[in-house]
Amino acid sequence: MQKIRNIAVIAHVDHGKTTLVDGLLEQSGTFGSHEHHDERAMDSNDLERERGITILSKNTAIRYKDYKINIIDTPGHADFGGEVERVLKMVDGVLVLVDAYEGVMPQTKFVVKKMLALGKKPIVVINKIDKPSADPERVVDEMFDLFAAMDATEDQLDFPIIYAAARDGIAKLDMADPDGNFECIFETILSQIPEPEGDRENHTQAQVFTLDYDNYVGKIGISRIFNGVIRKGDNVMLAKADGELVKGRISKLIGFHGLNRMEIQEAEAGDIVAFAGLETVDVGDTVCDPANPMPLDPMHIEEPTLTVVFSVNDSPLAGQEGKHVTSNKLKDRLEAEMTTNVAMKLEVVGEGKFKVSGRGELQITVLAENMRRENFEFGVSRPEVIVKEIEGIKCEPFEHLVIDLPEEFGGTIIERLGKRKAEMKSMVPMGQGFQRIEFEIPARALIGFRGQFLTDTKGEGVMNHSFLEFRPFSGSVESRSYGALISMENGETLAYSLFNIQDRGVLFIGPQTKVYEGMIIGEHSRSNDLVVNPIKGKAQSNVRSSGADEAIKLIPPRDMSLERALEWIEDDELLEVTPKSIRIRKKYLTENERKRYSRK
- The helix-helix angle for 410-419 and 449-456 (nearest 10°) equals 160
Q: How far is CA 229 from the centre of its chain?
A: 35
Q: What single-letter DSSP state applies at residue 327? A: H
418 Cβ neighbours under 8 A, 6+ residues apart: none
203 marked among binding-site residues: no
130 marked among binding-site residues: yes
Residue closest to 450 by CA, chosen among 461, 439, 437: 461
Q: What's the Rg (C-alpha) of the chain?
A: 27
How many residues make up the chain in this entry? 600
Q: What single-letter DSSP state applies at residue 502? A: G
Q: What single-letter DSSP state applies at residue 197? A: P
3-state helix/strand/coil string of 434-467: EEEEEEEEEHHHHCCHHHHHHHHCCCCCEEEEEE
Distance CA(275)–CA(458), nearest Å, equals: 50
128 marked among binding-site residues: yes
Phi first, then psi: give them for residue 504, nearest 5 degrees: -90, -5
129 marked among binding-site residues: yes
Residue closest to 82 by CA, chosen among 333, 401, 340: 340
18 marked among binding-site residues: yes
37 marked among binding-site residues: no
Distance CA(354)–CA(350), nearest Å, equals: 7
Distance CA(427)–CA(435), nearest Å, equals: 7
Side-chain half-sphere of 589: how many Cα atoms within 13 Å?
14
The answer to whether 247 and 253 have CB atoms below 8 angstroms apart is no
Neighbours of 280 (CB within 10 A): 11
| DSSP assignments along 43-61, one per residue | --SHHHHHHT---S-EEEE
H or E, element range at 369: helix 361-373
State the virtual CA torsion across 495, 499, 505, 507 in degrees, nearest 10. Answer: 20
Residues within the annotated binding site for GTP? 14-19, 127-130
Residues within the annotated binding site? 14-19, 127-130
